[in-house]
Chains A and B, each alone.
Chain A
Amino acid sequence: MNITFSEVTKTFEPDITALFDISLNIEQGEFVYVVGQTGSGKSTLLRLITREILPSAGVVAVGGYDLRRMRRADVPYYRRDVGLVAQDFKLIQSLTVYENIAFVMEAMSVPKKLVTERTKDVINQVGLWRRRSMRPAQLSGGEQQRVAIARALANSPSLFIADEPTGNLDFHTAAEVMKILFAINAAGVTVVMSTHNQAIVNASRQRVIELENGKLIRDEKGGTYSG
Chain B
Amino acid sequence: MTTLKYILRDMWRLVVHHWVLGLLTLITAGVMLWILGVTTLFSLNLENLLSRLESELVVQAYLVKDNTLDIEKVAAKIQALEYVYAMKIYSPSDSLAKLQEKMGSQSRALDMLGENPIPYNFEIHVHKAEDVEHLVDELNAMPEIDDVVYAGLVVKRISALSRISSRIALVMFILSVVITALVVYNTIHISLYSRREEIGIMYLVGATRAYIATPFVLEGTLLSLLGALIAAAGIIGAYFPGVTLIQANLPFLRNSIITDRAVIFRFCALLAGFGATLGWVCSYIIVARFINSITKPE
B206 within 8 A of A: yes
Query: Any chain A CB within 8 A of the CB of B251?
Result: no
**B192-206 interface code vs A (CB 8 A; 1 in, 0 out):** 000001100111111
Give, as a whole number of angstroms, the nearest-CB distance from A115 to chain B: 9
Q: Say yes or no for A182: interface residue by CB 8 A criterion.
A: no
Sorting the interface of chain A by its residue count into under 10, 10 to 19, 20 to 34 or 35 or more gives 20 to 34
Q: How far is the CA of A76 from the CA of B18 in the complex (A)?
A: 26
A109 at the interface (CB under 8 A from B): yes
* Chain A positions within 8 Å of B295 at CB level: 72, 75
Report the Cα distance A93→B196, complex, angstroms: 12
Asked if B208 is at the interface of the complex by the 8 Å CB criterion, the answer is yes
With the chains together, A151 CA to B204 CA distance in Å? 12
Q: Evaluate contact between A90 and B204: CB separation under 8 angstroms.
A: yes
In the assembled complex, the CB of B122 is this many whole angstroms from the nearest CB of chain A, namely: 73
| Complex Cα–Cα for A84 and B204 (A) | 8
Q: Which of A24-32, A100-108, A190-198, A205-213 has 4 or more CB atoms under 8 Å from chain B?
A: A100-108
Flag A72-84 by CB within 8 Å of B: 1 or 0 each: 1101110110001
B298 lies within 8 A of A54 (CB):
yes
Chain A 95-134 per-residue mask, 1 if CB under 8 angstroms from chain B, else 0: 1000000011011111110000000000000000000000
A74 to B5, CA, bound (A): 23
| Chain A residues numbered 19-63 whose CB sits less than 8 Å from any CB in chain B | 50-54
**Partner of A103 from B3, B205, B208 at Cβ < 8 Å:** B205
Indicate if A92 sits at the interface (CB-CB under 8 A).
Answer: yes
Known: A51-B297, A106-B6, A107-B208. A76 touches B201 (CB 8 A): no
Interface residue? A12 (CB, 8 A): yes
Contacts of B205 in A (CB 8 A): 79, 84, 90, 103-104, 107, 151
Q: How far does the alpha carbon of A52 sit from the alpha carbon of B294 in the complex, in Å?
A: 11
Residue of A nearest to B3 (CB): A109
With A and B bound together, what is the CA distance between A109 and B6 in angstroms? Answer: 8
The reply on A9 being an interface residue by CB < 8 A is no
Q: How many residues of B contact A (CB 8 A)?
A: 22
Minimal Cβ-Cβ distance residue in B for A56: B298
Could you tell me the distance between the alpha carbons of A103 and B13 in the complex, rounded to whole angstroms? Answer: 12
Q: In whole angstroms, what is the CA distance A8 to B33 when docked? A: 55
A92 to B204, CA, bound (A): 11
- Shortest beta-carbon distance, B267 to chain A, in Å? 39
Decide yes or no: A52 and B208 within 8 Å by CB, A91-B201, A93-B198 being known contacts: no
Contact bitstring B202-217, A, C-beta under 8 A = 1, else 0? 1111111101000000
Q: Which of A54, A94, A107 contacts B207 (CB 8 A)?
A: A107
Partner of A92, one of B18, B198, B209, B297: B198
Q: How many A-B residue pairs have CB under 8 A?
A: 69
A109 touches B298 (CB 8 A): no
In the bound assembly, the distance between CA atoms of A52 and B202 in angstroms comes to 13
Contact residues of A between 153 and 177, Cβ < 8 Å to B: 155
B198/A12 in contact, CB under 8 A: no
Q: Which residues of A contact B201 (CB under 8 A)?
A: 90-92
Partner of B17, one of A75, A86, A94, A104: A94
Q: Which of B1-20 contact A (CB under 8 A)?
A: 2-3, 5-6, 13, 17-18
When distances are taken between beta carbons in the complex, the residues of chain A under 8 Å from B18 are 94
B198 neighbours in A (Cβ, 8 Å): 92-94
Q: Is the CB of B202 within 8 A of A79?
A: no
What A residues does B298 contact at CB under 8 A?
Answer: 12, 52-54
Given A12-B298, A54-B297, A54-B298, decide whether A76 and B3 contact each other with a Cβ distance below 8 A: no
Interface centre among A50, A76, A92, A155 (most CB of B within 10 A): A76
Which residue of chain B lies nearest to A77 when distances are taken between CB atoms in the complex?
Answer: B206
In the complex, per-residue mask of B258-298: 1 if CB is within 8 Å of any chain A CB, else 0 = 00000000000000000000000000000000000001011
- Known contacts A75-B203, A93-B198, A107-B6; 17 additional CB pairs below 8 A are A12-B298, A52-B204, A52-B297, A52-B298, A53-B298, A76-B206, A76-B207, A77-B206, A80-B206, A84-B204, A90-B205, A91-B201, A93-B197, A103-B202, A106-B6, A109-B2, A112-B5
**Chain B positions near chain A (C-beta within 8 angstroms):** 2-3, 5-6, 13, 17-18, 197-198, 201-209, 211, 295, 297-298
Q: List 9 A-B contacts (CB under 8 A).
A: A50-B204, A51-B297, A77-B206, A79-B203, A90-B204, A91-B201, A93-B198, A110-B2, A112-B2
